[in-house]
Amino acid sequence: MYQALYRSFRPEVFDDLLGQEHIVKILQTQIETGEVCHAYLFCGTRGTGKTTTARLLAKALNCTGEGKKPCGRCPECRAIAAGEFLDVVEMDAASNNSVEDIRSLRESVNFPPVSGKKKVYIIDEAHMLSSQAANAFLKTLEEPPQDTVFILATTDPNKLPSTILSRCMRLDFRRVPEKKISESFMDVCRKIGVEADPDAVALIAANADGSVRDGLSILERCIAGSKRLTRDDVLFLLGISGIDTYLKITDRVIAKDSAGALAVLAEVLSEGKEVLQFTKDWVEHIRDLMLIKYSDDPQNMINLSKENIERLREQSDRITIKEISDMITVLSKLINDARYASKPRVLLELAIIEMCG
């Protein structure tokens, strides 16, 4: 059966988790020493591993395998991963947010674990609990039953009453660094038999904006069943102008050909590209030219393939540092002004004429 990437690549052990080292460290110490809290609050932006980590903690608390917990292989770990373990209850507060739902939860809490060591309740989207439900739940938190752990996950902790917040150990999930995402995605591609260019994967990671799930879903759409993934596939899907466009328009500016540069711009904008985004990406391109001019090893600083770095190098040889600095000054001012302008396109056209003049 077909499974979305973000379902098939769910971490089974703590080592699989990207980023969040600060959280893993705390949880692992607590698991080793047996000093686990009664209630946790996992906060943070979407797709950074809150639900995943809640399941990992549930597994670790019930794992019967050897070595580091969770082992990911024992019957308990497997049953939890499959959602078939009776003592781990997942509840989506977005759809079960009534007082009755909480009441039945409170009743079930009174029974000891069926087969596991700890009962674990994972309450996802906890900020969606109605205020009555939250109040009912608070009573449970006030007299926490033995051998029970609550894990509340939310993107929006400010919506939870402070009475609940103060009874939970709060852990904040951070956005996952681009580099970690792209390294892991190269691995994912290898595992599913897709030959991916590193600069294609790096571009996806940059657009994931710290969310592994968003990244996986972009990756999946870019691959779309093919066995090969190039930077152009990604650019096409994301609707970003490629390096060709920036090389072309910069060439026209270097040649002081304002009509030519304006024509490139018109073409780009007709494809639906936004003025501000285009300008920002153009500044990035010029910055890359500058880095290449002054670095022997630009590959480390620039997210591009060898071939494209060569094309940049060729262009950087034809532009002076004074020209680079003038262009960056003009375009940066434009980025600032464009925020308040009703017709940012006109500003960009004027800027182009100024740079060519």
- For binding to Zn ion (CB under 5 A), which residues are involved? 63, 65, 70-71, 74, 77
CB atoms within 10 A of CB 190: 11
Site for ligand ATP in 150-169 (CB under 6 A): 153, 155
Distances (CA, A) of 21 to 9, 16, 167, 169, 178: 19, 11, 23, 17, 15
Nearest-approach distance from CB 214 to ligand ATP, in angstroms: 8
User: Which structure tokens are listed for 288?
Assistant: 């890359």
Q: Please state the closest distance from residue 54 (CB atom) to ligand ATP, in A.
A: 8
Of the two residues 14 and 137, which places its CB atom closer to ligand ATP in the complex? 14
Q: Coil, strand, or helix at residue 100? A: helix
In the bound state with ligand ATP, the residue whose beta carbon lies nearer, of 125 and 288, is: 125
Largest Cα separation within the chain, whole Å, is 80
Span near Mg ion by CB under 5 A; candidates 24-32, 51-59, 245-253, 268-276: 51-59
Q: Does 212 bind ligand ATP (CB under 6 A)?
A: yes
CA-based radius of gyration for the chain: 26
Structure token pair of residue 222: 């870019």
Query: Binding of ligand ATP at residue 252 (CB under 6 A)?
Result: no
End-to-end CA, the chain? 61
Binding mask 110-139 for Mg ion (x = CB under 5 A): ------------------------------
Binding mask 168-207 for ligand ATP (x = CB under 6 A): --------x-------------------------------
Residues 6+ apart with CB under 8 A from 78: none
243-254 vs 344-356: helix crossing angle, rounded to 10: 50
Tell whether residue 213 is a contact of ligand ATP (CB under 6 A).
yes
- Using an 8 Å Cβ cutoff, are 303 and 199 in contact? yes
**Binding at 119: pick from ligand ATP, Zn ion, Mg ion, none (beta carbon under 5-8 Å per type):** none
Residues that bind ligand ATP (CB under 6 A): 6, 9-11, 17-20, 46-52, 153, 155, 176, 212-213, 216
